[in-house]
Amino acid sequence: MTYVLWLFFFLIILFLSGVLFWTLRGEQREDEGKASDLEEWNCPSCGFTVQLGTECIYCGEKKPERGV
């Protein structure tokens, strides 16, 4: 029975770490601002993965705004 309690405790710690990680990641992303232009993004129109830039090289679609 003690084993189950430790497993449960471990899962809670893991979950809290995940929440903390995502929170820090979100704040960091806001600080980056323009740097997000270097990220990959999927075109909503044709599904093409654009490696660079803010415009799809396949169909010309603009990169959708973040924070939706």
43 Cβ neighbours under 8 A, 6+ residues apart: 49, 50, 56, 58, 59, 61
In whole angstroms, how close is the CB of 46 to Zn ion at the nearest point? Answer: 4
**Nearest distance in Å: CB 4, Zn ion:** 50
> Do 63 and 55 form a contact (C-beta atoms < 8 A)?
yes
Binding residues for Zn ion, rule: CB under 5 A, are 43, 45-46, 48, 56, 58-59, 61
Q: Which is nearer to Zn ion, 18 or 60 (CB)?
A: 60
Token pair belonging to 49: 């993965």
| CB of 36 or CB of 45, closer to Zn ion | 45
Between 29 and 50, name the residue whose CB sits nearer to Zn ion.
Answer: 50
